Amino acid sequence: MTRATATSIGFVAVLLWALLALFTAGSAPVPPFLLNALTFAVGGTVGVVWILARGRISVLGQTPRRVYAFGTGGLFGYHALYFSALRLAPPAEAGLIAYLWPLLIVLFSGLLPGERLRLGHIVGALVSFVGAAVIVLRNGFAFDAAATPGLILAAFCALTWSTYSVVSRRLGDVPTEAVAVFCVFTAILSIPAHLMFEATLWPQSTFAWLSVLALGLGPVGLAFYVWDIGVKRGDIQLLGVASYAAPLLSTLVLIAAGFAQASWQLLVAAGLITIGAGIAALASRAR
């Protein structure tokens, strides 16, 4: 598999994450950790079926336990921190800080063996981050000191996912099949978190159940498998910058579905994210 092909496969995760908000809205009133348990159970089950169909079950036994602990910590830790941050701080501000992870991926990637972080990668990531900020903060920004704990958790959220992505690069010899185990363990850990912090509310309609299934198959399923391929074998800097397309695409999907309204901020954000990705792409071509 070529570097360009792996990068393209990794970008499929960004496209799938653009559907996260739509299907999450459709799954209401399921609370976050219960939704986590249901969707990761679907994503993990699909992965296990895929492994069995390929006769690759033996590779799971060859994967070190510390890798399973790391992967589960990355998936569960990110979502636990993200949900907690949104509970303790305004969603816009917490979401923006949480979305520092693509920028952190670009910066941390410079520490990887064989990778060279160029100025264009940093500039591109910053320009795209501004574009994402235009989307996230389109309804205004307000700081409340009481929200500080939530904002701190959002920062740890960004640190968790960027660390998971970059360290996954160092685990290039670990097969992508291990992600299925990460998903299963994340679903299991989400159950006690749900029982401790949430009231049990199941999907109330066929559409809500289909939304849960769609989440497990796509944004909380296939996305993690293709992302694993992208960060391990593709251009991780370019993937980091390209990830800022997710909030823009997500907003466009919500508008198309009637959950949001179009605005001038979309045009500005689209321009900035495209320019940032272009700058990063030129930096990668100069490798």
Q: Tens digits of per-residue pLDDT, 66-115?
A: 999 999 999 999 988 888 887 787 776 777 788 888 888 888 877 777 76
Q: What sign results for the dihedral spanned by CA atoms 22, 26, 27, 28?
A: positive
- pLDDT above 70 covers what percent of the chain? 93
Q: Are 99 and 136 in contact (CB under 8 A)?
A: yes
**Angstrom distance (rounded) from CA 180 to CA 236:** 22
pTM of the full structure: 0.86
Number of domains in the chain: 1
pLDDT of residue 286: 58
**Angstrom distance (rounded) from CA 189 to CA 182:** 11
Distance of CA 115 to the CA centre of its chain: 22
Containing domain of residue 120, as a range? 3-285
- DSSP notation for 60-129: HHHS-HHHHHHHHHHHHHHHHHHHHHHHHS-HHHHHHHHTTHHHHHHHHGGGSTT----HHHHHHHHHHH
What residues of the chain score a pLDDT lower than 50? Answer: none
